[in-house]
Structure 1
């Protein structure tokens, strides 16, 4: 049986690809708090749910 688990945390580079933006922009969004992230030792990771929340927030802001 094949596990079809999606990753819970993604690297900033992966987040950039998923969002269709540059890696530098992802780091800027994390720095200003617009995109939630967690630190594991020296590694910065972005919860998959944070990507969904970020996009939903963008949609809400543009709908207003």
Structure 2
């Protein structure tokens, strides 16, 4: 039987804004912008909003782990 909709967990976001991406990674906003400029983190523009795909944050961490640990 389905749970009432009020008790269901909200789905995880697929994108976040830049400040939230910085918070999730534990780094500064300026460092996020450096990573965006260098192409290490992808973004999507939706109107004036700059969105960071959460999958891109996971990919960055995975790549950094591979580089550090072989």
| TM-score normalised by the chain length of structure 2 | 0.84
Q: Structure 1 residue 21 and structure 2 residue 27: aligned?
A: yes
Q: What pairs with 1:1-64 in structure 2 (closer than 5 Å)?
A: 1=5, 2-64=8-70
Residues 8-33 of structure 1 deviation map (CA, whole Å, 9 limit, x = unaligned): 11011000000000011001101110
Pairwise CA RMSD: 1.0
Looking at structure 1, the residues matched to 43 and 30 of structure 2 have their Cα atoms a distance apart, in angstroms, of: 15
Number of residue pairs the alignment of both structures matches: 64
Return 5+ residue gaps in structure 1 as ranges.
none
Return 5+ residue gaps in structure 2 as ranges.
none
